[in-house]
Structure 1
Amino acid sequence: AGLTATLRLLDSGASVMLVEKEKRLGGNSAKASSGINAWTSTRTEAHANDTLASFVADTAKSALRDAGFSHTGSMIELLASRSEAAIEWLKARTTIDLSKVAQLGGHSFARTHRPSNGMIGAELVFALQKEVKRFEASGSLRLCSGCRVTRLLQDGPEGAEGAVLGVAYADAAGDEHEARAADTMLATGGFASDRSSASLLATHRPDLLHFPTTNGDWATGDGMKLAMNIGASTVDMDRVQIHPTGFVDAKDLDASTKVLCGEMMRGVGGLLLTPNGTRFVNELAPRDKVVAAELATGATEFAIVLNAAASKEAGKHAELYERKGLLSRVVGAAGLAGYMAGMRGAADAATLAPRLSSELEAYSATAAAGGGDPW
């Protein structure tokens, strides 16, 4: 959001000071892997019958909101109606490739756009920052990385502060500065990496404090706190989403921060199995439904299984995860059973092998028949 807003402003002729507390730009967006959801008027076989109304309805359902619900309904409709223009702008203004379109969790049609051979987050951040940094030479852009905004500057005497006039910030050395501006924009990420007792997560969703996160350690809600400190109202602060899949590192099983196993890994055909080798959910259901099904099993670890075709479709994603030691190649049900036997709560390999064989054969038969999935 910050890079996009900066580029749009620079293109319009504005001078921009971009303050980023990390040394690198991109935040959590750089970690994204599955794609960008958008409805487009270009029709293909994968979404020949898709409509904007269907996209709005799917989004509202995934957000656990009726499409006409108060502020949320109008926001969903706005985002959906402008999604095609956003995709077209990215393709026209940057070098980003968004040629792959897939149907992922919670969607009735293929709407998730991603590069043909890369990770959407890394590719998008690279493309955007490349265009943004072109403006440094002209002086239109002042980039302050490694700097942290400490408060918003306001007009008026203490106790009766008014309009925002800019920001106070600390540089990498800890020295304080002030920057005055006609307009100030906050474009920051979430707050799930702050687990302290006074954190936003503890305040709004204390029930989630024990879950690991895939957020970077910078996601501490700074922008929200800055706005709230001058009296800004908030909405939906309890809407913290639990993602169904994050990789378990065998070297650190209980790590509080994990690598996200992107939605796309299920979208290409990955199956979710319990440690006992049973499938228990429609992998393309909305995330909250998948999470609820996972919790209902009582298991703490699950296997995501891709066959050769799914792995090939996943492309760079599968290659990257395998290189990091998060995905392993096995041969047949026996090989999968040997791998899964090491999971917490799993049966032994001899018990797992025939069960896995039966489960995978049943799924393959259902897929070949074109429907009838019990989930």
Structure 2
Amino acid sequence: MDEIDRRDGGTSRGADYETVDLGVLVIGAGAAGARTAIELVDRGVDAAEMLVVGKRSHGDAHTTWARGGVNGALGTHDPEDDWTIHAADTLKEGHFLNDPAKVEAVTRRMPDLLQELDDWGMAYSRTPDGEIDQRYFGAQSFRRTAFAGDHTGESMLDTLVAQAQARSIPYRENVFVTRLVTDTGEDGDRVLGAVGVDLDTGEFVVFDADVVVLAAGGYTSLYERHSSRDDENTGDGPALAYQAGARILDTEFVQFHPTGMVGARYGEEWDGRLVTEAVRGEGGRLYNSDGERFMERYSPDQMELDARDVVARAIAREIAEGRGTEHGGVYLDISHREREFIRERLPRMYERFADLGVDMAEEPVEVAPTAHYGMGGVRVDDDGQTDVDGLYAIGETMGGVHGANRLGGNSLAETLAFGQLTGEAIAERLAGAADRDRPADARDARVLRDRAERHLTDLGRLADGDGTYDPETLFDDLRALLWEHAGILRDEQSLTAGLDRLAVLRERASDLAVGGPTSRSFEFALNLGFALDVAETILRGALRRTESRGAHARTDYPEQDSDLRRNIVVRRDSVGGMQLDTLRIGEPSEAVQDALDAGYELDYHQLE
């Protein structure tokens, strides 16, 4: 993507803020945002009429941390695999809480989208015959996870950014979007634009946009141990949509990846960082401190490659029952593989641990569960549009694809598939609007300006606030709260206590000590405002869901309840409170139902 020239492109400056006029604003510069922007240009939308903004330096999105692979039924090794079996595996892993139409939209598109990346020059790992290689991943019936060593996300984003730059798609980095501006008309709410702050200069920005796409990531950094960097996946996308009037669903489903690094062994800065599932996909084995390969007791058929929630709970139990390491983890061992195999297939992991003084070819590494992915998010229709007209959500910001537990390798797949699909829908929308040639609405511009300026007044009050509490400290308190009260295992008493503690945090968050708009404390104060809302949806959803399903495990309701095969949705009510309801789940197509009935399943022992 090309850096925007602030002197051109319809921008103007007032005394207190900059205004940018756009057709499409894409919030989030990872794979989902980039793929959407590419599709828009390829379908005739003028690149000059759009802008991609990111909260971090360009090319430094969380996508780069997705290492293990991206799913698509190419059949490189297993020609009997196809998109319907991929869909069936996704629904089973999601405990049938997924939206089947969204699942099928992803799995149908992925073989072609993987080939498209190949045509664009992505550095896939290859078979001896030169085909895109594919590896086993947990709970998948066949080898369908394409990869580039163990740096798939980085290679994929590099490829997408290069394609966006070739199309001259403008971008702007280090911009924190703080509010979506909407208006209510005869047909309901619609988006008018957004407000943000340039974290480098402290300048406020108002974006006047016909369409806004939220591709701003998820919310697992709200947990004390997590696989993201501390300043990403802090709930911005879901919170922006919720505060604008869109519904949020299923945020109680938080995936705890089985294998995060153990900070007590490797240092606090590494605590929770992901040890990619590819290590287990290439044959890595889990052992407790007694030297027992304990997954034989929990999952004798699928072993280490059972569903992530199953493996994470098994590890947590081993640690809780005293069979963990002295540092609070278990051992992950791939030293039975040849050194060159490990260096070729897992180069980033090999280098990371070598730098920490651990030779993966000779000894195991220590791992424990870490918050990794939020299956919930913004409720959208089949095109990715939210309840708010003109506001779309894709990638980890949206919900619906993954159900109660995400299939490994499907996160990158979702960014590509819904990036393409939503880009198609927006291009058609804009073309239709151009055909109608509706004149600019002066009322829209006035409402945007008035509501943006009220929000900017609030931001001005927040900056240089001389209150009592430090935002970063409160954010750490929130992370500890969720880890304790809405972690791997939950019950009514703990969840209720968590809501009580959250109310205290909200009170303290109204009395913050904050620096200016370029300060770290200002950014944490903004993060905290979003995080408090998303944390409340997690706790309230988990309390409402009186069953155990997928990644949501209630010790006081250990069984799955067929009557709760429904999405729990949260909407902001007219006085700012949270209103919870449920939605019925659809049914899969006949073709996918046939694949489910066939009962395909991974046989781990093919790896032995």
TM-score bucket of the superposed structures, by smaller chain:
0.7 to 0.9
Structure 1 residue 87: Cα displacement = 1.2
1:280 aligns to 2:314 (yes or no): no
1:182 paired with 2:210, answer yes
**What secondary structure does 1:259 align onto?**
coil
Counterpart-to-counterpart distance in 2, 1:26 and 1:372 = 35
SS of the residue aligned with 1:258?
coil
SS in structure 2 at match of 1:8? helix
Residue 175 of structure 1 deviates from its aligned partner by 1.5
Q: Distance in 2 between matches of 1:343 and 1:61?
A: 26
SS of the equivalent of 1:184 reads: strand
| Residues in 1 aligned to 2:36 and 2:113: alpha-carbon distance in whole angstroms | 12
> Residue deviations 1:58-84, cap 9 Å, x none?
11122222xxx5x62222222112221
**Which is worse superposed, 16-25 or 267-276?**
16-25
Residue 81 of structure 2 is aligned to residue 54 of structure 1: no
Contact 1:215 1:257 in 2 (8 A): no
Residue type of the partner of 1:171?
D
Asked whether the equivalents of residues 103 and 111 of structure 1 are also in contact (C-alpha less than 8 Å), the reply is yes
CA-CA distance at 1:156 after TM superposition: 5.5
Aligned partner (choices 302, 310, 315) of residue 294 of structure 1: 315
Residues 171, 177 of structure 1: 8 Å contact kept: yes
Deviations 1:17-73 (A, max 9, x none): 111011233422111110001112xx44x31322333212211122222xxx5x622
Q: Distance in 2 between matches of 1:108 and 1:79?
A: 17
Counterpart for residue 113 of structure 1: 146
Question: Residue 103 of structure 1: CA displacement?
Answer: 1.2
Which residue does 2:103 correspond to in 1? 76
User: Which residue does the alignment assign to 2:35?
Assistant: 4
- Rounded to whole Å, the distance in 2 between the matches of 1:144 and 1:371 is 48
Which one of 130, 137, 147 corresponds to residue 104 of structure 1?
A: 137
In 1, Cα distance between equivalents of 2:112 and 2:266 = 43
Moved over 4 A (4+): 249-257, 370-373
Measure, in 2, the Cα distance between the counterparts of 1:163 and 1:189.
22
Secondary structure at the counterpart of residue 180 of structure 1 = strand
How many residues were matched structurally? 312
Q: Aligned pair 1:36/2:63, yes or no?
A: no
Which residue of structure 1 aligns with residue 113 of structure 2?
A: 86
Alignment-derived partner of residue 165 in structure 2: 133
* 1:21 correspondence with 2:55: yes
Distance 1:316 1:169, change over 3 A: same
The residue number in structure 2 matching 1:245 is: 259
**Structure 1: how far apart are the matches of 2:357 and 2:278?**
16
Equivalent residues of 1:20, 1:147 under 8 A apart: yes
Structure 1 position 308, deviation (Å): 3.1
* CA distance in structure 2 between the partners assigned to 1:231 and 1:48 by the alignment: 45
Q: How far apart in 2 are the matches of 1:305 and 1:313?
A: 17
One-letter identity of the residue aligned with 1:292: R
CA distance, structure 2, for counterparts of residue 72 and residue 29 of structure 1? 23
- State the TM-score, normalizing by the size of structure 1: 0.75
RMSD (CA atoms): 2.9
Question: For residue 186 of structure 1, what is the amino acid of its counterpart?
Answer: L
Indicate if the aligned counterparts of 1:268 and 1:313 stay in contact, CA closer than 8 A. Answer: no
Partner letter of residue 166 of structure 2?
Answer: R
Q: How far is the alpha carbon of 1:96 from its aligned partner?
A: 4.0
Specify the code of the residue in structure 2 equivalent to 1:214: S
What is the CA-CA distance between 1:232 and the residue it aligns to?
0.2
User: Cα–Cα, structure 1 residues 257 and 9, in superposed 2: closer, same or farther, change >3 Å?
Assistant: farther
Measure, in 2, the Cα distance between the counterparts of 1:21 and 1:343. 30
Task: Give the share of equivalent positions with the same residue, in percent.
Answer: 25
Cα distance change on mapping 1:32 and 1:372 into 2, 3 Å: closer
**8 A contact 2:333–2:360 mirrored in 1:** no
Query: Could you tell which deviates more after superposition, 96-105 or 218-227?
Result: 96-105
Alignment gaps of 5+ in structure 2: 1-31, 126-131, 296-302, 369-604
Asked whether the 8 Å contact 1:242–1:288 carries over to 2, the reply is yes
On the 8 A contact 1:273/1:303 being kept in 2, the answer is yes
The CA deviation at 1:153 is 2.2
1:120-269 to structure 2, matched below 5 A, reads 120-136=152-168, 141-155=169-183, 162-172=189-199, 173-194=201-222, 209=223, 212-217=225-230, 218-249=232-263, 257-269=271-283
Q: What is the alpha-carbon distance in structure 1 between the residues aligned to residue 607 and residue 122 of structure 2?
A: 42
Q: Do the aligned partners of 2:117 and 2:159 also contact (CA within 8 Å) in 1?
A: no
2:356 is aligned to: 325
For residue 86 of structure 1, give the secondary structure of its aligned residue in structure 2.
helix
CA distance in structure 2 between the aligned counterparts of 1:242 and 1:213, rounded to whole angstroms: 8
Contact 2:69 2:150 (8 Å CA) reproduced: no
Does the aligned pair in 1 maintain the 2:54–2:172 contact within 8 Å? Answer: yes
SS class of match (2:154): helix
AA matched with 1:84: P
- Structure number with higher strand proportion: 2
8 A contact 1:275–1:343 mirrored in 2: no
